[in-house]
Amino acid sequence: MFIEPDFKGTKRGWIEVICGSMFSGKTEELIRRLKRVKIANLKVEIFKPQIDTRYDENNIVSHDTNSIVSTPVESSQAILLLAQDVDVVGIDEAQFFDSEITKVCETLALRGIRVIVAGLDMDYLGMPFGQMPNLLSVADYITKLHAICMRCGNIANISYRKTTEGGQVLLGEKDIYEPRCRICAQKND
């Protein structure tokens, strides 16, 4: 569905994507940007997938325990319904959203809203994760963050899973995942 943009006003929207492996600081960067938006007195709505309850059922929380109030939603379409009369929309853990998340972000940008999205670009096998490749392809700005490999100290871009359980989606923290570089991710130790 195409939404006819309103180019009469001066307000222009865009999509920013923050991506990388686990423990690279994606959520920390999202929170930093959103706090600056609040300081500027812009109207902001922040969302996360309802499935993500690792640190808090409602708030977005980084591994460093920084947090910001958010609204958990079951589907990306709910974001369109809830993001009314805002300047900025923040979305965390975008890889967990349904196939409509890219269209939702584009619709918001066409409405003149700045959309800041954070998510894992690759799963634990190093394969594209969820809708992140689609979001990256339509993004106006991309920030790729890296963690530090827990084995060798080089930059890490893989969220290595230390267990064999689960499918592509397995919520966890340092007990289940650790950042690794390409070479160390191939080692099963």
Sign of CA pseudo-dihedral 132, 146, 90, 142: negative
Local confidence band at 69 (pLDDT 50, 70, 90 cut-offs): confident
> Is 158 a domain residue?
no
Tokens of 114: 């700045």
Local confidence band at 177 (pLDDT 50, 70, 90 cut-offs): confident
> Is 71 a domain residue?
yes
Which pTM does this prediction carry? 0.86
Tell me which residues are annotated as active site: 93
> Is 1 a domain residue?
no
Domain of 42, CATH number, reads: 3.40.50.300
What value does the CA radius of gyration of the chain take, rounded to a whole number of Å? 17
Percent with pLDDT over 70 in the chain:
79
pLDDT digits (tens, 9 = 90+) for 107-164: 999 999 999 999 999 988 888 999 999 999 999 999 999 999 999 999 999 988 876 6
pLDDT score recorded for residue 161: 84
Local confidence band at 50 (pLDDT 50, 70, 90 cut-offs): confident
Number of domains in the chain: 1
Is 60 exceeded by the pLDDT of residue 173? Answer: no
What does DSSP assign to residue 148?
A: E
> Is 59 a domain residue?
yes
Cα(40)–Cα(43) distance, integer angstroms: 9
Q: What angle do CA 150, 154, 156 make, to 5 degrees?
A: 65
> Is 56 a domain residue?
yes
Find residue 72's DSSP bridge partners.
48
pLDDT score recorded for residue 176: 79
> Is 52 a domain residue?
yes
Is 70 exceeded by the pLDDT of residue 9? Answer: no
Tokens of 184: 């160390």
pLDDT score recorded for residue 108: 97
82 within 8 A of 59, measured Cβ to Cβ? no
> Is 60 a domain residue?
yes
> Is 164 a domain residue?
no
The residue segments making up the domain with residue 75 are 14-146
